[in-house]
Structure 1
Amino acid sequence: MTLRIDFTDQATSLHHDAILKPLREFNGGVIGSPGAASVAWTLRDPNLDEIVGGLYARLGGGWMFVELLVVPERMRGQGCGRELMARAEALARRKGCGGIWLDTFSFQAPDFYRKLGFEVFGEIADFPPGHTRYFLQKRLA
């Protein structure tokens, strides 16, 4: 069988989904259905009733991946981030996850996550240049 390789520098979600589909099928054949689900807790501005931040995570493979955590600058230092992470951890425990993992940059919140019990398991120096990207995990008992 001969395959053709096409390139685009304007990739869309259609490209992403088409490439992801056979990967998920292969992985499912090896590890079975991971029971993947996406979850979110949102922070809303009560005056505008719009989402201004929150936490978005995916559950699968027995772990929770916190993909996004954003607390608006005006709300930082009031415990919103801790509350969102506590809710995510509680759900991960209820769902039987072995742990939670996430990534952050040196200019974002690595110390915040360390205070919550997360440990660095990997890092990429100078990504982006002058900064570090950290990968953290917290194993759940």
Structure 2
Amino acid sequence: MSAGMEAPVWSVRLEAEPDPAMRVAILAPLVAHNEAQVPNGNWGLLALTVRDAGGAIVGGLWGRTGYGMLFVELLALGPARGRGLGRRLMRDAEAEARRRGLSGIWLDTWTFQVPGFYQRLGFTECGRIRDDPPGHDRIFYVKRFADGGTGPAPPP
């Protein structure tokens, strides 16, 4: 550093009640770095909703796309559980991922949820955090489309 120039002073603060604007500010330099390394991440959102007879959302699937993959962040069915809608949501999400030209899907779940569900849908375990939360494991799954995402989604 040249004479007369002072180094920046940084401070670290625990934010007791963080708000979404803070997340945006924290994310900005990470996005800039990532885009400099791998441009055109092709970011997007995907949502499939399950609604009751009155149109209220009772569950669904929420995902994000980027770098050629779909990340399924949330899959919940609440009172609609046990009617085959989970399979339908995952099938519809895969069809949309393929329509978008993506090469696969990844997600995480816990052993107290239904990891066998994802295995039956063709997902492969690619990581595991043991005893998180205590007594259970967090499991990461991936499903890469053998055809690179150019083929049709699996049948119902």
User: TM-score with structure 2 length normalisation?
Assistant: 0.85
| Inter-partner Cα distance in structure 2 for 1:59 and 1:46 | 30
The one-letter code matched in structure 2 to 1:124 is I
Deviations 1:79-138 (A, max 9, x none): 100000000001111212111000001011200000000011001111000111000000
Aligned to 1:117: 122
Count of residue correspondences:
139
2:96 corresponds to 1:91: yes
Task: Name which of structure 1's ranges 13-22 and 99-108 shifts more when overlaid on structure 2.
Answer: 13-22
| Inter-partner Cα distance in structure 1 for 2:134 and 2:17 | 24
| Inter-partner Cα distance in structure 2 for 1:13 and 1:35 | 22
| Inter-partner Cα distance in structure 1 for 2:98 and 2:16 | 41
| Inter-partner Cα distance in structure 1 for 2:82 and 2:58 | 16
The one-letter code matched in structure 1 to 2:114 is A
**How high is the sequence identity, in percent, across the aligned residues?**
45
| Inter-partner Cα distance in structure 2 for 1:90 and 1:70 | 19
Unpaired segments ≥5 residues, structure 1 = none
| Inter-partner Cα distance in structure 1 for 2:10 and 2:66 | 32
Q: Specify the SS of the correspondent of 2:42.
A: coil
User: Quick one: which of 107, 130, 133 aligns to 2:112?
Assistant: 107
Aligned to 1:26: 33
* CA displacement at 1:13 relative to structure 2: 1.3
Aligned to 1:43: 50
| Inter-partner Cα distance in structure 2 for 1:108 and 1:130 | 13
Aligned to 1:56: 62
Q: Specify the SS of the correspondent of 2:40.
A: coil
* CA displacement at 1:3 relative to structure 2: 1.5
* CA displacement at 1:5 relative to structure 2: 1.7
Unpaired segments ≥5 residues, structure 2 = 1-7, 147-156
* CA displacement at 1:77 relative to structure 2: 2.4
2:10 corresponds to 1:12: no
Structure having the larger proportion of residues in strand: 1
Root-mean-square deviation (CA, aligned residues, Å) is 1.1
* CA displacement at 1:21 relative to structure 2: 0.9
Moved over 6 A (4+): none
